Structure 1
Amino acid sequence: MANDEDDFHAFVVARTPALSRTAYLLTGDAHLAEDLVQTALFKAARHWRRIQGSPEAYVRRILYTQNVSWWRSRRHVREQALGAYDAPAAAADSDLRLTLEQALARLTVRQRTVLVLRYFEDLTEVQTAEVLGIGAGTVKSIARQGLGRLRTLAPELAELVEDPA
């Protein structure tokens, strides 16, 4: 039992920063991102023995489905300006990062979620559809609309939102 707790603690310490970045991109709000990560980790802790072989995928799926549940219930949906957040270190160009964050914040929750899953998490349309419980055609449509809106909101991001087709 103690070994399970140690393994879970090590996972939390090692993966919370990456999970938090994804949660922030999904929600566009630092506080909601914290809530989302805490909810996902709480749910994972209850099933830790069963998921030890691939906890990362399990916890990420909880992040996505919980976020979908929140935007479906409209309970946690609210458009807000982005607060201070330690964005991914890989985004060296802070101006570009800020522009992207501001543009993502102005998308609908569904558009932002689909774009994060497709392009940040690198899921296929089919995988994204499975995670969100919608059709692959719907994912394609939402992604097209979201990319179009990004092009309008932030033309300086053109190289990032080129049409993948």
Structure 2
Amino acid sequence: MPGDATDFGEFVHAALPGLLRYGHALTGNPHDAADLVQSVLEKIGSRWPHVQRKTGDPLAYIRRSMANAHISRWRRLRRESLVADIADATDTRSVTHSDPFEHEPLWQALRALPPRQRAVIVLRYYDGLSEAEIAASLGVTQGTVKSQASKAIASLRAKLTPAERPEGREREFD
């Protein structure tokens, strides 16, 4: 288990793939995920002995920090920003490589969820955490986890046709 490592480098080596996947699910793309993981690990690294001593589960603490950092960033960036020129669609300098999941209906519906709902869904169905673990990870009550999950499932159910719903999870969406 990554939370058992005593050395920060060992912990990061063991937990990094899962943290990057979690960040990707939170942010919607691998580049922002890598930035999110890096910024959180930079902050945690300088306080690693304290984090390890004071938290029962450093991995849950890092996930919570990632969710909080992502929500804060999302709130900051959703404000309107004015630009002088609009980029031309034919300008090859503004062309970026797209995410391979960009056009997947489930991925689009997941990205459209508010950050907290997305975090709850990712922690529940991607990481397989219980409601209590999610509540501890996000620093909210179990009731908040239940209500956010319910709202997220209702939103996903409304956006996805039965054929687009993930296999093995049909009952949760019906």
Output the TM-score relative to the length of structure 2.
Answer: 0.65
Tell me how far apart the structure 1 counterparts of residues 14 and 143 of structure 2 sit (CA, whole Å): 36
Q: Specify the code of the residue in structure 2 equivalent to 1:142.
A: Q
Distance in 2 between residues matched to 1:146 and 1:114, nearest whole Å: 8
Native 8 Å contact 2:120 2:145 kept in 1: yes
> How far 1:77 moved relative to its partner?
4.8
Question: Offset at 1:47?
Answer: 1.9
Q: Which residue of 1 aligns with 2:32?
A: 32
The alpha-carbon deviation at position 54 of structure 1 amounts to 5.4
Q: Distance in 2 between matches of 1:161 and 1:76?
A: 34
Q: State the alpha-carbon separation in 2 of the partners of residues 128 and 55 from structure 1.
A: 14
- Post-superposition offset of 1:45: 1.0
Q: Of 74, 97, 118, which residue of structure 1 is paired with 2:124? A: 118
CA distance in 1, matches of 2:48, 2:159: 42
Larger Rg: 2
Query: Which of 149, 157, 160 is the equivalent residue of 1:143?
Result: 149
Instruction: For 2:57 and 2:159, locate their aligned partners in 1 and report how far apart those are by CA, in whole Å.
Output: 38
| CA shift in 2, pair 1:128/1:77, >3 Å | farther
Distance verdict in 2 for CA 1:110–1:154, change over 3 Å: same
Rate the CA distance shift 1:77–1:38 in 2: closer, same or farther, 3 A. Answer: farther
Distance 2:19 2:77 in 1: 19
- Residue ranges of structure 1 left out of the alignment (5+ in a row): 1-6, 88-94
Percent sequence identity over aligned pairs: 41
User: Can you give the 5+ residue segments of structure 2 that lack an aligned partner in the other structure?
Assistant: 1-6, 80-96
C-alpha distance in structure 1 between counterparts of 2:77 and 2:171, whole Å: 31
User: Structure 2 counterpart of 1:46, which letter?
Assistant: S
Deviations 1:69-93 (A, max 9, x none): 334xx11459xxx9426x8xxxxxx
- What is the DSSP-based 3-state SS (H/G/I as helix, E as strand, rest coil) of the residue aligned with 1:162? helix
Following superposition, the deviation at residue 33 of structure 1 comes to 1.3
Q: Which residue of 1 aligns with 2:63?
A: 60
What's the RMSD between the two structures over aligned residues?
Answer: 3.2
The number of residues matched between the two structures is 144
Match of 2:72 in 1: 69
Q: Normalization by structure 1: what TM-score?
A: 0.68
